[in-house]
Structure 1
Amino acid sequence: MADSIDESKNVSVTDDDLENKSKGELIKLAGQLRDRRNDLNQMASERASDRDDLNAKTREKVDEAQEHREQRDELNQQVQEHKEKRNELNAEANELFDEVEDKRDDLELDEGKDIEQLEDEIEDLEFKQQTEVLSAEDERELIEKIEDKREKLAEKKEKLNQGGDLEGVKEEAEEIRSEASKHHQKVTELADEAQEHHNQMIEAYREADDIRDEADEMHEKFVEAQEAADQHHEDFVRVQKRLRELDKKEEEEEREARQEKEEAAREEAEEIYQKFKEGETLDTEDLMKLQKTGLL
């Protein structure tokens, strides 16, 4: 940041200076005022250039922040779209899952053992019947158990057939929910990216504020230098005006002196001419004086 003006280098002029200083002193003072004014104008120009550079950097940072804002808003819009799609798919999947549960409840498919378990138990009992030596009573009881489980298995399958393709509906619901999860993942990814642009936007605005503060300070420094330069210019003009007054006064005095000299020469020439008319002999110098005044 530019330093303050060294006021010890400034040049000042008072009314007393203008009134009492000699012409030579005033010429010297005018030169000092002019040189200091030029230095201050150069300083003001440099500070104005620095200020303009800072203002340009401020605009760049604001533009950068605006770009991040636009990208953030665009990403947030995409987040909202994926959220809506996710919610729609989850609602659709939930309806299908509810449909499966309702049908299972209606058909009492959840009561007792499921089909796979019954099939496994029947297979185990049949294997036991085929591989173990059983008494007639034990074998009869085993056969009854197998028949009982087969009846329950048939009943379960019948109910399942009555309920339609519940597994297909369930698979469809799971596929829809999987698709919803993909949209949820996009929501998370896009939201993180949007947050990053938001953070960068905030940082760019902060940097813009800092640079703007520097530019404002540099503008104050520019004004300080320019006002000092203007003051030196005003004082320079005052001294120049005084010098013109002195020049005019000198010219007036010279003209008056010249007139007095010419008047004295004319009077002398008239006296010589009078002598000439009275018949006196004139020397060469007297003749030249008459010629100079136009009397001869």
Structure 2
Amino acid sequence: MLTDLEEKRGRLRQESHAIGDRHSQLNAEASKWAERRNELNRATEGLIERAKSFKKLRDESNKNVAQSKKKRDECNENIKQLYVKIEDLQKKHNPTGERSIRDLSREIDHLEFRQQTEVLSPEKEKQLVDKISALRAEFKGRKEQLEKSEDMKKLLDQAQALRDQASTYHNQVTRFAQLAQEYHDQMICSFKEADQTRAEADAAQKEFLKAQ
């Protein structure tokens, strides 16, 4: 009888130890998953903040694009008005009906745009470059002729200064637009990473609950 009780007590002690060991194991497992979950949540928060900072930079760049576009368009409008005055004066100094300096300027701009944006064969590109060079020479000659008039020289100088400003603003538009796209891409990437770490944190939370 005593032996049976001792055996029973021994079995209960073993079961108690086993339960205690299992409980400790589950606690350790739960702690591990809780730590992993917290780590992933912190990473998610960091990625979201990073994405927000890229969004702010993108929005600022887009704002700069709009401002530079506005200034560029204002310059172009002022150039247009100046060329109206230039053409009026040119008619007085150009009774032979030669091409206006404005027409030459427009054609040069158009051909330069083609040169920058179109894929041309070497022969076609050489023809285009030669034509641009010829037009520039004609433009220079017409400008020098017109600049003999003090009023005309003043208008041409103003027009050139505005063209330079418009070109600067156009370059700013391009640069800020590129930056805005880069910041946008980085923002999207950060949000995607945040979604991934959030999903991993949710999975860690499920494992934590299982170990409870």
Structure 1-normalised TM-score? 0.50
Q: Which structure exhibits the higher relative contact order, with contacts defined as CA atoms closer than 8 Å and separated by 6 or more residues? A: 2
Residue identity opposite 1:221 in structure 2:
E
- Tell me the equivalent position of 2:19: 33
Deviation at 1:73, TM superposition (A): 1.0
User: 5+ unaligned residues in a row in structure 2: which ranges?
Assistant: 1-6, 100-144
Cα displacement string for residues 199-241 of structure 1 (whole angstroms, at most 9, x for unaligned residues):
1111111111111111111111111111xxxxxxxxxxxxxxx
Rounded to whole Å, the distance in 2 between the matches of 1:82 and 1:205 is 29
- Please say if 1:172 is aligned against 2:163: no
Aligned counterpart in structure 2 of residue 109 of structure 1, from 89, 94, 97: 94
Cα displacement string for residues 157-213 of structure 1 (whole angstroms, at most 9, x for unaligned residues):
9xx96xx71232122112111111101101111111121111111111111111111
Residue identity opposite 1:77 in structure 2:
K
- Please say if 1:50 is aligned against 2:45: no
- Tell me the equivalent position of 1:205: 191
Distance change (3 Å), C-alpha of 1:113 and 1:66: closer
Deviation at 1:99, TM superposition (A): 1.8
Cα displacement string for residues 53-105 of structure 1 (whole angstroms, at most 9, x for unaligned residues):
01111111111111111111111111111111111111111110122113434
- Tell me the equivalent position of 2:69: 83
Rounded to whole Å, the distance in 1 between the matches of 2:73 and 2:207 is 59
Deviation at 1:25, TM superposition (A): 2.8
Rounded to whole Å, the distance in 2 between the matches of 1:199 and 1:98 is 44
Rounded to whole Å, the distance in 2 between the matches of 1:202 and 1:102 is 54
Structure 2-normalised TM-score? 0.68
Residue identity opposite 1:199 in structure 2:
D
- Tell me the equivalent position of 1:118: none
Query: May I ask how many residue pairs the two structures share in their alignment?
Result: 159
Rounded to whole Å, the distance in 1 between the matches of 2:95 and 2:152 is 13
- Tell me the equivalent position of 2:174: 188
SS at 1:165 equivalent:
helix
Rounded to whole Å, the distance in 2 between the matches of 1:113 and 1:30 is 109
After superposition, the CA RMSD in angstroms is 2.4
Distance change (3 Å), C-alpha of 1:56 and 1:110: farther
- Please say if 1:63 is aligned against 2:49: yes
Residue identity opposite 1:69 in structure 2:
K
- Tell me the equivalent position of 2:58: 72
- Tell me the equivalent position of 2:200: 214
User: 5+ unaligned residues in a row in structure 1: which ranges?
Assistant: 1-20, 115-156, 227-296
Distance change (3 Å), C-alpha of 1:110 and 1:195: farther
Rounded to whole Å, the distance in 2 between the matches of 1:207 and 1:47 is 20
- Going by fraction, where is helix more abundant, 1 or 2? 2
Deviation at 1:110, TM superposition (A): 4.5
> What is the aligned-residue identity percentage?
34
Matches within 5 A, 1:148-167: 165-167=151-153
Rounded to whole Å, the distance in 1 between the matches of 2:95 and 2:28 is 94
Rounded to whole Å, the distance in 2 between the matches of 1:72 and 1:200 is 10
* Rg comparison, structure with higher value: 1
Residue identity opposite 1:29 in structure 2:
E
Distance change (3 Å), C-alpha of 1:112 and 1:61: closer
